[in-house]
């Protein structure tokens, strides 16, 4: 049994804590919100601690004496928490999806003998591992495409969408320019561009569009000349978001309201969308992912499909399952000793070793998350 600290008790962090406790680990969860900690307050083997992790040095205290840690804080504080874990000498799996590139901490982690897997969720995370397996199998690739998204089971107009994370995080995904790879070069295109409508087996008609999800995979542009990630939604959702964007509701520039108050339209829009987009305990969701890799010869290929559903037994959303359980698989990778060298690691590099990928796949299958190779 290992002593694992989970920093952040949101929807995904709480799912991670419950899964680790069910696997026999001693779990302590830290969050600034007592309401958030109620998600795990009745769970055996889990201790909740109220702590403001944004306070300088607070994560260091939370990690004292830990064997392992999970970084599940919001992205804007992710880098600081990761730095504190490395300084404390605690191995960490990170799903904060920080805007900074954590690769610059690799030397720091090596100096402290710390192993860190970053971006270890569903996408980025599992999608990157499939990239790594495809590259190891094919040698070189001509094209790589990942389509991924979380969808509500019940479609309600006008949005046909529920946000598993904060609406502001989703809106930033819709406004941040998408970095993709074309002809071996990183190019930037508007988010929501190049929409495609198609039938997804077992789900129905869906629509996807380009978003900025490749992250660390951009490093492989010299070996894979065409790469893109596409966010999946129900048809019609993109049109509604475009109406908001083109009308100025997603602008980050501040405007003056009557009475002299100033506000950024995107902040106001996010606050207003909480009621429409926030998942309620009665809501059910699914996660879909399609990964396709084409060999350099134009003939050989590798592909996987994933359709995952809300789990009624554990009362865990599909997005929390697929993100959280990929993270707990990363915990087991480090504890198993399969990853012995210190440093900052990305999922695609971890998956280059088949034994590591097999452990993750088996871990997910034991939780009824199944990848179908196509």
Task: Provide the residue-wise pLDDT of the chain in tens; the chain has 374 residues.
Answer: 899 999 999 999 999 999 999 999 999 999 999 999 999 988 899 999 999 999 999 999 999 999 999 999 999 899 999 999 999 999 999 999 999 999 999 999 999 999 999 999 999 999 999 999 999 999 889 999 999 999 999 999 999 999 877 788 899 899 999 999 999 999 999 999 999 999 999 999 999 999 999 999 999 999 999 999 999 999 999 999 999 999 999 999 999 988 888 999 999 999 999 889 988 888 999 999 999 999 999 899 999 999 999 999 998 999 999 999 999 999 999 999 999 999 999 999 999 889 999 999 999 999 999 999 99
Residue 134 lies in a domain: yes
Global pTM? 0.94
Residue 260 lies in a domain: no
Residue 36 lies in a domain: yes
Residue 146 lies in a domain: yes
Q: Do residues 111 and 232 share a domain?
A: no
Q: Do residues 116 and 26 share a domain?
A: yes
Residue 216 lies in a domain: yes
Is the CB of residue 364 less than 8 Å from the CB of residue 351? no
User: Residue 52 belongs to a domain with what CATH number?
Assistant: 3.40.50.720
* Number of residues in the chain: 374
Q: Do residues 12 and 65 share a domain?
A: yes
In three-state secondary structure terms, 218 is helix
Q: Where are the beta strands (DSSP E) in the chain?
A: 3-7, 26-31, 46-50, 68-71, 91-94, 115-117, 141-152, 178-182, 185-189, 196-200, 204-210, 226-233, 255-256, 262-263, 285-295, 301-309, 343-345, 372-373
Tell me the residue range of the domain where 224 lies. 126-241+278-309
Distance CA 349, CA 329 (A): 15
Residue 255 lies in a domain: no
Distance from CA of residue 315 to its chain's centroid?
20
Q: Where are the beta strands (DSSP E) in 190-245?
A: 196-200, 204-210, 226-233
Is the CB of residue 31 less than 8 Å from the CB of residue 74? no
- Per-residue burial over 75-88, b = 16 or more CB atoms within 10 Å of its CB, e = otherwise: eebbbbbbbbbbbb
For the chain, how many structural domains are there in total?
2
Q: Name the nearest CA neighbour of 205 among 288, 87, 301, 329.
A: 288
Q: Do residues 118 and 23 share a domain?
A: yes
Is the CB of residue 37 less than 8 Å from the CB of residue 31? yes
Q: Do residues 367 and 348 share a domain?
A: yes
Q: Do residues 155 and 301 share a domain?
A: yes
Residue 110 lies in a domain: yes
Distance CA 124, CA 348 (A): 10
Q: Which of 293, 309, 325 is the last residue of a domain?
A: 309
Q: Do residues 176 and 285 share a domain?
A: yes
Q: Do residues 132 and 7 share a domain?
A: no
Q: Do residues 282 and 224 share a domain?
A: yes
Q: Decide the pairing of beta strands 343-345 and 115-117.
A: parallel
* DSSP assignment string, 144-180: EEEEEEEEESS--TTT---BSS-HHHHHHHHHSPEEE
Q: Which of 267, 288, 309 is the last residue of a domain?
A: 309
Q: Do residues 188 and 302 share a domain?
A: yes
What Cα–Cα distance (Å) separates residue 285 from each residue in 136, 203, 280?
Answer: 33, 12, 11
What pLDDT is stored for residue 258 in this prediction? 86
Cis omega (within 30 of 0) on the bond before 158? Answer: yes
What pLDDT is stored for residue 93 in this prediction? 98
Backbone φ, ψ for residue 361 (5° rounding): -65, -45
Q: Do residues 205 and 66 share a domain?
A: no
User: Residue 169 belongs to a domain with what CATH number?
Assistant: 3.30.360.10
Measured at the CA of 318, the angle between CA 313 and CA 323, to 5 degrees, comes to 120
Q: Which of 270, 287, 309 is the last residue of a domain?
A: 309
Distance CA 366, CA 68 (A): 22
Q: Do residues 72 and 109 share a domain?
A: yes
Residue 304 lies in a domain: yes
Q: Name the nearest CA neighbour of 154 among 14, 310, 306.
A: 310
């Amino acid at each position: 049994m290992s002593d694992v600290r989970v920093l952040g008790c949101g929807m995904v962090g709480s799912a991670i804590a419950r899964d680790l406790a069910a696997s026999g680990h001693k779990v302590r969860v830290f969050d600034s919100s007592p309401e958030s900690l109620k998600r795990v307050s009745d769970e055996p083997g889990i201790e909740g601690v109220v702590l403001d992790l944004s306070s300088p040095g607070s994560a260091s205290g939370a990690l004292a004496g830990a064997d392992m840690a999970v970084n599940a804080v919001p992205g804007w504080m992710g880098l600081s928490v990761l730095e504190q874990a490395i300084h404390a000498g605690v191995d960490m799996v990170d799903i904060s999806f920080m805007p900074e590139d954590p690769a610059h901490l690799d030397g720091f982690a090596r100096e402290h003998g710390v192993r860190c897997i970053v971006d270890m969720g569903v996408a980025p995370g599992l999608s990157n591992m499939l990239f790594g397996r495809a590259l190891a199998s094919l040698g070189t690739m001509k094209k790589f495409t990942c389509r991924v998204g979380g969808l509500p089971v019940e479609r309600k107009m006008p949005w046909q969408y529920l946000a598993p994370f904060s609406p502001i995080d989703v809106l930033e995904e819709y406004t941040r320019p998408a970095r993709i790879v074309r002809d071996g070069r990183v190019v930037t295109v508007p988010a929501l561009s190049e929409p495609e409508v198609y039938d997804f087996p077992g789900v129905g008609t869906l629509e996807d569009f380009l978003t900025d999800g490749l992250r660390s995979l951009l490093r492989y542009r010299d070996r894979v000349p065409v790469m893109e990630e596409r966010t999946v939604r129900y048809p019609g959702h993109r049109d509604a978001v475009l109406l908001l964007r083109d009308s100025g509701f997603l602008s980050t520039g501040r405007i003056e309201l009557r009475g002299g108050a100033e506000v950024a339209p995107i902040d106001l829009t996010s606050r207003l969308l909480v009621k429409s987009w926030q998942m309620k305990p009665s809501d059910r969701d699914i996660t879909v992912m399609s990964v396709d890799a084409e060999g350099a010869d134009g003939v050989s290929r590798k592909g996987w499909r994933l359709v995952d559903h809300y789990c009624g037994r554990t009362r865990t959303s599909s997005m929390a399952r697929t993100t959280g359980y990929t993270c707990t698989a990363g915990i087991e990778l480090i504890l198993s000793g399969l990853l012995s060298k210190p440093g900052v690691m990305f999922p695609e590099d971890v998956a280059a070793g088949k034994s590591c990928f097999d452990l993750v796949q088996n871990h997910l299958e034991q939780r009824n998350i199944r990848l179908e190779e196509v």
